Amino acid sequence: MPDRVADQVAAVAATALLAELETWPKPGLVSHVDSGSHTDMDARTFIASVAAITPFFGRLTLAGAAASGMDGLRSIGLEAERAMLEATGGANTHRGAIFGLGLLCAAAGATWSGTAQVQPLWRPNILGAIVRQRWGAAILRGPIPLHSHGTDALRRFGAGGARAQAAAGFPHARNVGLSALRLGRTLAPGDPEAPRVQSFFALLASMEDTNLLHRGGAAGLRFAQEQAAGFLGLGGVAQKQWRERAARVHRAFIDRHLSPGGCADLLSITLFLDALDTSS
């Protein structure tokens, strides 16, 4: 694989992360507008993190093209995490995104190289299938961080979290996030932010976000899903004052210290898949 192709994939990943950051209202989460429910990070922290981890997405793309196993991908991912923590002063801005986007970058590399025995088209279903078939079992067998929010939610509530999403080929991003993103473009033509908000709320309404479970327990997750479903039920971004309604949900999340970080990662993944699909 030419380095320029790996650089292209890494640039798409970085653009997706920055677009996720620049989406507001995004209940409880950091954006270019405010820091949501967080006191240890802001938009500048996220921008520094994206700059630090982008080169590793290129390396993961090349690793996928070279038919790397999960151990090789994990090694690069851990290097990316260390770079992130150094750039942010210890803040975990993108650990989940490194994991999810990193796997999809590797799948894009595998697709390009032909080692996956498919045509070199970056279709969402193809990329998801490569992740599931090549690395799914190893993802589920892999080491579980002892003190992560996802591990806490798995132990207390049985939620599968990012590992289960990845091992299954990111079905929520492919089936929920992408559909809502593309619906949002028809509901609010000419507004680039609206489709991202529509996609985020659809993801929030439909998945067990382990960050929500960690912060708010089952009641917090239920509240979040009900708020998201209510926003969508009233028309989502087709509402005349959708920003005001979404902002009210955002403030309610801040009052409850809720932060759906898993949904933020899946929005980034959705945007990445959409951009690669468009470029194919």
> pLDDT tens digit string along 182-202?
999 999 999 999 999 999 999
Angle (nearest 5°) at CA 49 between 48 and 53: 125
Higher pLDDT, 112 or 29: 29
Q: What Rg value do the Cα atoms of the chain yield, rounded?
A: 18
d(CA 117, CA 206): 33
Residue 35 clears pLDDT 60, i.e. is over it: yes
Using 50, 70 and 90 to split pLDDT, how confident is the model at 172?
Answer: very high
Count of domains observed in the chain:
1
How far is it, in rounded angstroms, from Cα 203 to Cα 229?
10
Torsion region of 36: left, alpha or beta (phi above 0 gives left; psi -120 to 50 gives alpha): left
Say what the pLDDT of residue 142 is: 76
* CA 164 – CA 186 distance, rounded (Å): 31
- What average pLDDT does the chain have? 92
Average pLDDT of span 272-280: 90
Residue pLDDT, tens place only, 221-241: 999 999 999 999 999 999 999
Q: Which two tokens stand for residue 117?
A: 């025995």
* Digit-coded pLDDT (tens) for 67-83: 999 999 999 999 999 99
* 139: nearest Cα among 94, 169, 172: 169
> What is the tens place of the pLDDT at every residue in 125-169?
999 999 999 999 999 987 765 445 555 545 454 445 788 999 999
In whole angstroms, what is the distance from residue 114 CA to residue 227 CA? 44
Domain that holds residue 236: 3-279
The pLDDT > 70 percentage for the chain reads 91
**Whole-number pLDDT of residue 145:** 55
Contact 99, 77 (CB under 8 A): yes
Average pLDDT over residues 171-176: 97
Question: What is the spatial distance between Cα 10 and Cα 109, in angstroms, rounded to a whole number?
Answer: 11
- Range with the poorest average pLDDT among 103-117, 175-189, 233-247: 103-117
Q: Where are the beta strands (DSSP E) in the chain?
A: none
Given a cut of 70, whether residue 116 has pLDDT beyond it is no
What is the reported pLDDT for 144? 60
Segment 253-263 mean pLDDT:
97
Q: How confident is the model at residue 278 (pLDDT cuts 50, 70, 90)?
A: confident
Amino acid identity of residue 239, one-letter, is: Q
SS3 state of residue 131: helix
Residues 6+ apart with CB under 8 A from 202: 176, 177, 179, 180, 228, 232, 236
What's the confidence (pLDDT) of residue 95? 95
- Confidence bin at 112 (pLDDT 50/70/90): confident
Measuring CA to CA, how many Å separate 137 from each of 46, 134, 142, 163, 236? Answer: 31, 8, 9, 10, 37
Q: How many CA atoms lie within 13 A of 77 on its CB side?
A: 22
Q: How far apart are CA 198 and CA 211, in angstroms?
A: 20
- Written as six digits, the tokens of 94 are 């993108």
pTM as predicted: 0.93
- 231, two tokens: 């926003």
As a whole number, mean pLDDT of residues 169-189 equals 97
End-to-end CA gap in the chain: 16
Under the banding of pLDDT at 50, 70 and 90, the label for residue 118 is low
Q: Which amino acid is at 110?
A: A
